[in-house]
Structures are given as structure tokens and as C-alpha cells.
Structure 1
């Protein structure tokens, strides 16, 4: 078993640029472990206020199971460029088309994994065109808009971004509490300075536009269920964004495999990366065997 519980155990990551038909994207790209038969490619999409680094600790365990693992910053997220003030560039349909291009650049078909808001973008991509995908895993990503309690927090952040600089917003976030507790799953690897760097490099228009999507997303589960792909719904045993029973119900509607990672919260890839990676690989292995 690979244990990746601290920065001292991080895999040999390959930060690079992924060229696609829709521009370049920053990725962490880990090939299958040496001597391990290649079993496919996994494309991982981060959530609101997140980045590719939220997947750092699951990449090596996936590689050990034979999967090339590619974690990507979406348009305007952290290491990927995008307009600072053009919200239309971050419409969900535009972001979904980016994902289609990323999948094709990663030797599609790929296993698609989306966390939280990234799950909603992944869903939109699959509904738009499922051909570049082998499967879809939704990680802590609900059927529709976030609950009212979370909507209020996202709206507060959006309102602040409309009148404050990113630096001013960051200082306000620190004053409200630890960064991981304000404005979404801003966790990941690297400590407070890495979180600050990630925040400052993310485009304000991306946060405003995707925050609005989180608060208005309709229930598209029926549309998704009509897509001929295998589905997997994975979450922690507790979640402060979408209640776990709601995720259970969504999995039933999708006839999806359901995994609950004990002891994990809204970001299982950070809270309990090894069992999360094992659950992902177990799902992918069943598809390779079928």
C-alpha cells in the first residue's frame, strides 16, 4: 500500500502545460508506475476555489494501479490562464467544451473525475458529448444547486469580489476564519502560503461566474442518466456542502456505484487520499474487466 499523508511522501509529479484545441492548461501528470501495465487515463477536475493540487495525494496511488493520472486547472483557475473580467468566458458550456478538449488531448477515452463544482462541469461535458469518456465519477458533487447555507457564503464571496481586489478579499477571508472554512473547499497541499498563491492567481471573473453557477444549477440527473456511461458517486461520510443522503439519492437515480469514504469530509482526496484513490481505481478496474 502506498501512503501519501504528507509532503514528504509526494510522488514525482510532472507539472506541465497540456496543449489542447482550446488553449493550454496547467496539469499535474503522473504516468503509470514503472513495471505496471497501463490500464487507462484519469482526468481530474477541481472544485470551486480549488486547483489541481487538491488531487496531489491520489495521483501516486492511481499510478501504482496502472492509471495515468492528470489533474487539471480549469480555465482561469490557478495555473491556467483566462480573462480576469469576462464572466461569459466561464459559462458552464464553455468550461464543458474545455473539458472535452482536455480529454481528447489526454488520449481519450478517459475516466473523468469531478470534485464539487468540477463535478457539475464534468456532468455538463458528458451530457454535451460522452464520446471522449470511459466513465464519470462525481466526488462530493450534488444533483443541483448548493443548499441555502452554502449559497449565502458563495454570495458573500461574489459580492466581495465585485468591489475588492483579490488581495483585499484574501485578507477578509483570513479575518473570517481558516481559508479551508470560507468560500468553498480551498484546501489542497502546501499550507497557507500555497493557498494564498492559488487564490491570487485565480481570475476574479472565474470565481464570480462559477459561484453563480453553484447557486443556480438545475437538477440535470435525468439528462445524465440517459448517457450510456458507467457512473460512480463518491463522497466522505460527512459533507457540509451537499448532504450525504442527497448524494445517496442521486446515486440511486443514476444507477451508479456508491462509495462513502469513512472519516472524510467534502474533499476526500485531501482528507483520506489513499482509500479515495483505491475506491476510484477499484471502480475503473471493474470497467476494464467488463
Structure 2
């Protein structure tokens, strides 16, 4: 879970509802105030996250000239979702991103953070024609493999299916508070984190949690698409093992990029550096490279 450092939106970043053929999605959107946008960046949050995980990054990318849209996925925070388990397969979530890109005019630069990277990959495999690039940010090739992590995720999914979501959050918070090095956020951020978690559709969060335990590695299929690919992660990322991310990058035919002084949430830890690495990739078309 990413923890925003402030809840204040930068000038030019606004809540906007994105209407698509698959429903309405809550977003934080920024559009350059001068000139024609270079294109559209679509930012996809991860497990227990939301569009707010990208707030500073939205601002930085817009300043580079890109219309930037950070979304809540279906059932996530301020986007509605059904209480139907089948609605939260990777195929369904990926189809949502395809619909979003079409509604935004297509050819999006797609950025998936953590679990959002698995959904982004699925979207590209569903319809690569509506995406220009895919950036996998602190994401991995498939489900987690560490037994302790898998057990924790399975317990959380079970709790979400059998207990009030508020009680599940309190139990999770108690667990987090006991972790070494835990630093409590400011009161307003703490209140937001609780509101965000408990605003999720419980079925959505339970099923997304299960996808982290059973997602198939489809790196080889992604490698065969002609959508340009990027893999990048924080230097101290503690999500998927860093060697696994580098192996995924190699299988995609690219070199993993490391964001200095960042952990699992580079969009919050180092938004300026992350934005620069993304836009450098967006602009690095083979035809523009010097020989």
C-alpha cells in the first residue's frame, strides 16, 4: 500500500469521472495548460491503492506536456464495482483499461504500479492496438512465491469474505503498527488510508488479493507484442524480489531501470525522477536514436 505524504492536489490536478463503454471510473486528471498534449499517460494503481498514489507524478508528467490520468480500478476506492467474484479476473480488469484507453483516444502510454502492472499487462495482451507503451513499475511476472507472503494474502482474502471490512482494516493496521521501522502517518493521511481501504468493494479487494496468489506468468506472451516495454523499480523496492523483476525485464528484451532513493512507491518517494525516467522512455523511439 502506498501512503501519500499530502492530500492537497497540485494546481491543475482535478478529480474527473472517465466515462467508458464499460462504465464510469474515478480519476485524477491533469491536462497541459499550454499547447497540444503530447499524448496520454494512463496510470494504474496497485493492491489496496488508488489514484491518489500518483498525485505528485500526475503533476510532474503534465508539466512535461502529457495529459495524465490516474484511475481507481473497478471496485477500488471511488469507482463502483459489483459484488461478483467473476468481475475481478485479470481479464475483466484488463478489458477495463482497454476501454479507458479508447475513451481517451487510444495510443496511451500505460503505466502499471505493483498489482496494476499485472492488469496493465493483461490489457496489452487483450488489445495492443490502443497502447503505445507499457511501463511496469515495481511489478512482477506473476503471483508472489514466498510462502509467508502467500499465507498472509490468503488470510486477508478470507477475512474480507467473512468479516466487516472495517474490522479487517483494524486488524491490518494493528499488524502494520508492530512492523519494525513503522512510522505512523499524519492524522489526516491516516484517516484517508482508513477511508480508502474501507471504501473498496470487499469482493473486489478479496479477489485482487487472490490474484496476487494465483496470477499466471505471461511475460513470454507480452514479449511477443509490438508494444514498447519498460521495467523500472525503486532501489529498495520490497514488493516482488528485485532479481525477479530483472529476469522479467530480460525476458521482455529490456534492461530494468532503477529509481534511486525510492522503495515500492517511487511515484511518492521520487516523483520527479520517476516522471523523467518515464518521459525519457516515451520519447525514446528507435527512429530518434543517434547511431
Partner residue of 1:116 out of 100, 114, 117: 114
Map 1:145-156 → 2, pairs under 5 A: 145-148=143-146, 149-156=148-155
**Alignment CA distance shift 1:5-1:191 (3 Å):** closer
What's the counterpart of residue 160 of structure 2? 161
- Structure 1 gaps, min length 5: 182-186
Unmatched runs of 5 consecutive residues or more in structure 2: 180-184
TM-score, normalising length: structure 1: 0.90
Q: Is the Cα contact below 8 Å between 2:128 and 2:225 reproduced in 1?
A: yes
Bigger drift between 161-170 and 35-44 goes to: 35-44
2:10 paired with 1:14 = no
Report the CA distance between 1:176 and its aligned residue: 1.2
Q: For the residues of structure 2 that align with 1:101 and 1:44, how far apart are their CA atoms? A: 14
CA-based RMSD of the aligned residues comes to 2.2
Gap change, CA 1:16 and 1:159, over 3 Å in 2: same
Match of 1:102 among 58, 77, 100: 100
Q: Per the alignment, do residues 7 and 161 of structure 1 end up closer, same or farther by CA in structure 2, a change over 3 Å counting?
A: closer
Please give the residue correspondences for 1:33-48 in structure 2 after superposition, counting only pairs within 5 Å: 34-35=33-34, 37-48=36-47
Matching residue of 1:231: 229
User: For 1:256-271, what aligned pairs fall within 5 Å after superposition?
Assistant: 256-271=254-269
Distance 1:27 1:9, change over 3 A: closer
Cα distance change of structure 1 residues 232 and 11 upon mapping to structure 2, 3 Å threshold:
farther
Encode CA deviations 1:8-41: one digit per residue, 9 max, x unaligned: 6834311011000000000011012x33552110
SS at match of 1:14: strand
CA contact (8 A) 1:30 1:70 kept: yes
Equivalent position of 2:67 in the other structure? 68
Q: Secondary structure at the match of 1:16?
A: strand
Q: CA deviation at 1:277?
A: 1.0
The number of residues matched between the two structures is 278
What is residue 210 of structure 2 aligned with on the other side?
212
